[in-house]
Amino acid sequence: MAKKAKRRGRPPGSKNKKNLTRSVTTMDVAQLRAHIDDLQGVLARKVNEQRSYFENQLAQLGGYVSKKATAANKAVRPDGRKDKSLKWTGRGMTPVWMRDEMKGTKLKKEDFLIK
């Protein structure tokens, strides 16, 4: 069997970057100003889209914060007393109950500190 020859040249779908540079260099000042205004409009639209996306994500994190506080407070009984079986001095291996709490959430060891 003959070996298949490698393709040479640009991959399909790629555009020639030199044409963009040439077209910008041949534009007059009015055309450049219009082009810049178009680009600024596109940029502003994309910034607004991303801002609304991230604001939506932040709004959803409000629920995450309350879950985190609930998980950290599980070491305290409802009557306010501390559960003696859920104590750890910070030495040695991390307790199983603490590992289980940290596994499902993004909690860290510092989140379990009693202040």
Question: Mean pLDDT for the chain?
Answer: 76
Best mean pLDDT range from 22-26, 34-38, 70-74: 34-38
Whether the Cβ atoms of residue 105 and residue 71 lie closer than 8 Å to each other: yes
Other CB atoms closer than 10 Å to residue 88's CB: what's the count?
14
pLDDT at 47 over 80: yes
pLDDT at 90 over 80: no
Contacts of 75 (CB under 8 A, 6+ apart): 82, 83, 86, 87, 112
Query: In which residue are the tokens 């307790």 written?
Result: 95
What's the pLDDT score for residue 43?
94
Whether the Cβ atoms of residue 88 and residue 98 lie closer than 8 Å to each other: yes
What is the distance between the alpha carbons of residues 9 and 7, in angstroms, rounded to a whole number? 7
pLDDT at 77 over 70: no
Strand partners, 82: 76
Q: Between these two residues, 8 and 21, which has the higher pLDDT value?
A: 8
